[in-house]
Amino acid sequence: MEIRDTFSRRRCYILAAFSFVFTFLFGWYGLKSSEWHPSIIFRCTVNNTSDDIRLSRLDLLSDVRLDRMVYAKPDVLQPPRTDVLTITPWLAPIVWNGFYNRDILNAQYHQAGVRIGLTVFAIKKYVIFIKDYIETAEKFFMVGHKVNYYIFTDRPNDIPNFTLAEGRSLSVLEVPGYKRWQDVTMRRMQMIRDHTRDRFVNEVDYLVCIDVDMVFSEHIGVEILGDVVGVIHPGFFGASRKAYTHERRPESAGYIAVDEGDFYYTGCFFGGAVEDIYKLTNFTHHAMLADKAKNMEALWHDESYLNKYFLSHKPTKVLSPEYAWNNYYGSPAVVKVKRLLHVDKDFKAVRSN
Ligand code: 4GW
Ligand code: MN
């Protein structure tokens, strides 16, 4: 009896010591290294958070791992291009074709499981643009990532059905169609703000807001994501400050002096982290209201207020005019790829509300 007791006690000590060493060593190693994470079994990108076990086909699509990727070394003395500015004076990158590696970016953002919302307004006759817009976005916009389309319209019955790729969804949001076209375009800020606060903030990490009279014609991916993102207007990338069509009346909330302003940003495309989009749309909406109270409206409506916002809230990423091209401006040598194109509008068909 006594012998058995001693034996089992000794066995107990040994077992306890073993399990302590085992738990300590492997627990610590497991925390430090992703090698033991279950996601590795599924060839998912390396990630340490527990909710990565919820694998979707989207994750499986990403076969790219940042820890084993072969690509040309970035060369400090050999910039890929020297014909364009690639960084602002406040150190934000300006995204031009040729400067980034899509595979690295895709792997990084897959790892983070990024969720992107794309807002678009198709009010009144502009619903005719939505079909080509969504169909081309499916081909070129954030392919392989999680995307929610948010279509704001006063004509929900005129929005066709779309077949979307894995990981993508579409919501139709019914909103009023303002009488004046200037209000149709300007009130977008208020509507994006309200839906951001009430909904988007729970569903996406980034928002991208693009006019509906556009088609996606080349890759547009996670290289465009940033906290505050503006796009250089295709008509002004070579222009002087004086030539920028900012609002010049000092009484207006959109006022920018002739010796101020960095770029002339287009109103047809902006983006950012969901919290930053709330701030941006709240600011521009209030600027519009302040002018309205004075019976004023800035020269280029929401575009003018957006430019004013970017003056004091400098974009953390600037997109080159590749991202908002208009063939009206031809094909200058620096624009190697036209990623998003303005559709030639039949003004009679779409603007006689
Ligand atoms: C004049 O009669 C109009 S109607 C000017 C804009 C209109 C409009 C604009 C509209 O009837 N319905 C609509 O949904 N919009 C939205 O505002 C749509 O998303 C459009 O892309 C955006 C800005 O208007 P826009 O594209 O005509 O502006 P620009 O010519 O500067 O790209
Ligand atoms: Mn437009």
What's the sign of the alpha-carbon dihedral 191, 193, 199, 205?
Answer: positive
- The answer to whether 219 touches 158, Cβ cutoff 8 Å, is no
Q: What is the per-residue pLDDT for 67?
A: 79
Residue 53: pLDDT band by 50, 70, 90 thresholds? very low
pLDDT at residue 34 is higher than 50:
no
- The answer to whether 301 touches 185, Cβ cutoff 8 Å, is yes
Name which of 54-68, 203-217, 275-289 the model is least confident about. 54-68
Check residues 69 and 205 and name the one with the higher pLDDT: 205
CA of 322: how far to CAs of 53, 119, 253, in Å? 38, 20, 29
- The answer to whether 265 touches 231, Cβ cutoff 8 Å, is yes
Neighbours of ion ligand 2 (CB under 5 A): 211, 213, 268
Average pLDDT (125-149) is 98
Question: 268 CA to middle of ligand 1, Å?
Answer: 9
Beta strands 340-342 and 214-216, pairing class: antiparallel
pLDDT > 70: percent of the chain: 81
- Map out the domains of the chain as residue ranges: 2-58, 94-350
- CATH topology classification for 94-350: Spore Coat Polysaccharide Biosynthesis Protein SpsA; Chain A (3.90.550)
Q: What's the pTM value of the predicted model, to 2 decimals?
A: 0.85
Q: Could you tell me if the CB of 137 is within 6 A of ligand 1?
A: no
Active-site amino acid positions = 303
Q: Which residue bears the tokens 């008509």? A: 235
